[in-house]
A and B are shown apart, each in its own frame.
Chain A
Amino acid sequence: MKLFWGVFSSVGIIILFGWSLIEFYQFTQLIASQGLNPPWSASLNLLPFLLFSLFSLITFIIYKKKKKSLLFPAEIEENDEREQFITSKATRFAYISIFYSFPFITILMLLYPFISESFPYYPIVIMLLFPISQILVYAFAWQRAYTS
């Protein structure tokens, strides 16, 4: 699968970014629970942030090797006119999928009141489902057009 590396790195970065955000969220929650006046004490798990940085560095090196522009997501392949055509088709699919994924993912927020105590960072996960769903729809549409 031609897009495998691109999809893997984009989804991987989003997941690690989300995990880092969750850790930072728990950290700020601990600080907030202690009121506005110092002293505060809180611990922060830096593992996801370190993994996120490492993964980003590896992706950056691969970008440099492949001579790709850092402005574009890794899964964008436009080496010639056919790939540009396939990319525009897949982008169209990903755009249309917003109208289906948006209500569905937003409805998942209705579960939040039931799990807010045990899963307080649920909204972060929901937010990250948006880009992941777009990337997967894009990749599926791209691969289907590429092999047809």
Chain B
Amino acid sequence: MKINNRVKEMRARHNLTQEKLAKSVNVTRQTIVALEKGSYTPSLLLAMQIASVFESQVEEIFTIEEE
């Protein structure tokens, strides 16, 4: 099972740079890069923080891709 995310799309919609998003959720920019690439699965806490920045629900941003 893989987790897909819409972070890049949401970030563009909210006019946020990777650096700004990283700062607002207290992670490094590289973590946002890895997240958008799909090479890193965030913790529940980070996922909820990101959802809060975008004023959305976690499941609107992160979805499970069934095999």
Q: Are A and B subunits of one complex?
A: yes
Residue A148, interface by CB 8 Å: yes
Q: Could you tell me the distance in whole angstroms from the C-beta of B28 to the nearest C-beta in chain A?
A: 5
Q: Which of A79, A81, A85, A146 has the largest count of B CB atoms less than 10 A from its CB?
A: A81
Contacts of A83 in B (CB 8 A): 28, 31
Residue A117, interface by CB 8 Å: no
Contacts of A85 in B (CB 8 A): 40
The count of residues in chain B whose C-beta lies closer than 8 Å to any C-beta of chain A is 12
Contacts of B42 in A (CB 8 A): 81
The answer for the CA separation of A104 and B34 in the assembled complex, in Å, is 37
Tell me the dominant secondary structure on chain B's binding face: loop
Number of A-B contacts (CB under 8 A): 23
18 contacts between A and B (CB under 8 A): A79-B27, A79-B28, A80-B27, A80-B31, A81-B27, A81-B31, A81-B43, A81-B45, A81-B46, A82-B28, A82-B30, A82-B31, A82-B34, A82-B40, A83-B28, A83-B31, A146-B30, A148-B39
The count of residues in chain A whose C-beta lies closer than 8 Å to any C-beta of chain B is 8
Residue B15, interface by CB 8 Å: no
Q: Could you tell me the distance in whole angstroms from the C-beta of B26 to the nearest C-beta in chain A?
A: 7
List 7 A-B pairs, minimum CB-CB distance, nearest first: A80-B27, A82-B31, A80-B28, A80-B31, A79-B28, A82-B40, A81-B43
Mark interface residues in A31-70 (1 if CB within 8 Å of B CB, else 0). 0000000000000000000000000000000000000000
Q: Could you tell me the distance in whole angstroms from the C-beta of B53 to the nearest C-beta in chain A?
A: 15
